[in-house]
Structure 1
């Protein structure tokens, strides 16, 4: 590995997450020098191959190509530090001297421990262990994704909303509104389709414009024209009406 500061490329599909990580890394400028950032796997492959960074801060679950799939296409693998909101991956696979695993939202104190770990790395062992990790991940059963929080940009701040506090999402003309149990509401630029692909299984699409947290469903009532009324267990006893085209998904969930 080259001398300090280490050349860094950030690969993450969420701009707020990239911005937060850049802010954190800027506080350790003697250790890290950000040379580029990428918004997806294909973009990451091109920039990593061209710039040859020492370290990649890499998100795992990205649309089109996961972080693991991106690594398999690299001609040479540098040091990888995974940064993800998914906490259901096998953390034991990451407990080596070759890599680190940062759970979003990343904290400054946790990043400082990563820097301490960098002092004990060996380049040859690092590459071999990362290759072994990829084989273990891709040859085993499919890894279940499980995010625990949602990043929301509000003015110049980044908020991290716990999924357990979110009762439902509802799409509007340009944005999706996030509704919390306590009545608070936030806007996100992420589409319902994107949210549906990344949210845990206990979130259910019941309408073309609504995703509901089924853990907070108190009661379901038959509604007219083959629809259901979902009664939620929040502070305001919210009532949501499903769409007819989502009846098969709802019935499948009810039978579970």
Structure 2
């Protein structure tokens, strides 16, 4: 490797997450030059063609061309690091050191380990081996099967990305009290680090989130409401085969429609 600074491209459809990763990289690897940020796989491929970065940090799931598909087209031209919200993508192919991954929200310690491996590969002038194409095909197949099963058998969500004011908040799912459909968005009612009630808006519709939630913890109680069962204080009967859910330390009262009243027959 020459004395020039190593270069990197970051691809993620969330601009705040791109900026956050770039900031973390600047802290743990000041010599690294982030030459481009991409919003999707198509932009990532264009950036690789134009700038030929040494490293590509690719979000696995992006609109249009996914991070895995972009990686297949990038091939051996750059070292690849996948950034994913799903632990089940962390397969043996990653652990063997040919490919690397970061789980969102990215932790500083894990990033430091990844950077150490990347530095060693660059120092050895090591390029990804020919087996990378096979591994990427296997991972792409896994992603395709997951999409086809619409979340059946997939690991439940661990956290949500939601807008809070002008910032993007990473909310652990276990801190969520309830979710409510709000036109094209989803209102997330959760507990802050201090335990205080808080609200945020999520761009993903509730109907898309529902299959990804752990059914042992969350239940749909109305066509527009999903509640964390551990957040329920008590349930009272209403008129016309309905009920009301009262929450622990929250003033909101959630409706239970007739279609979901069977969940609380024991009351």
Alignment of 1:187 with 2:225, yes or no, is no
Q: Is the 8 A contact 1:167 1:213 kept in 2?
A: yes
Q: Is the 8 A contact 1:196 1:205 kept in 2?
A: no
What residue in structure 1 maps to residue 9 of structure 2?
9
CA displacement 1:5-50 (0-9 Å, x = unmatched): 2221111112221121111122245432111111122222222233
TM-score (norm. length: structure 2): 0.71
CA displacement 1:167-195 (0-9 Å, x = unmatched): 22234478643212545113235232596
SS of 2:88's partner is: coil
Structure 2 gaps of 5+ residues are 147-153
- Of 170, 176, 179, which residue of structure 2 is paired with 1:166? 176
CA distance in structure 2 between the aligned counterparts of 1:205 and 1:6, rounded to whole angstroms: 49
Number of residue pairs aligned between Structure 1 and Structure 2: 249
What residue in structure 1 maps to residue 135 of structure 2?
133
What residue in structure 2 maps to residue 241 of structure 1?
255
Q: Is the 8 A contact 1:150 1:163 kept in 2?
A: yes
Look at both structures and tell me which one has the larger radius of gyration over its CA atoms.
2
What residue in structure 1 maps to residue 188 of structure 2?
178
Alignment of 1:56-75 (within 5 A): 56-74=56-74
TM-score (norm. length: structure 1): 0.74
What residue in structure 1 maps to residue 112 of structure 2?
112
TM-superposed deviation, 1:67? 1.8
230 and 6 in structure 1: CA distance in 2 versus 1, 3 angstrom threshold: farther
174 and 55 in structure 1: CA distance in 2 versus 1, 3 angstrom threshold: same
- Aligned-residue CA RMSD in angstroms? 4.0
What residue in structure 1 maps to residue 150 of structure 2?
none
What residue in structure 2 maps to residue 212 of structure 1?
227
SS of 1:88's partner is: helix
Q: Is the 8 A contact 2:245 2:256 kept in 1?
A: no
CA distance in structure 1 between the aligned counterparts of 2:208 and 2:69, rounded to whole angstroms: 21
CA displacement 1:51-102 (0-9 Å, x = unmatched): 2221111111234443223323446552111122212224323112322211
What residue in structure 1 maps to residue 151 of structure 2?
none
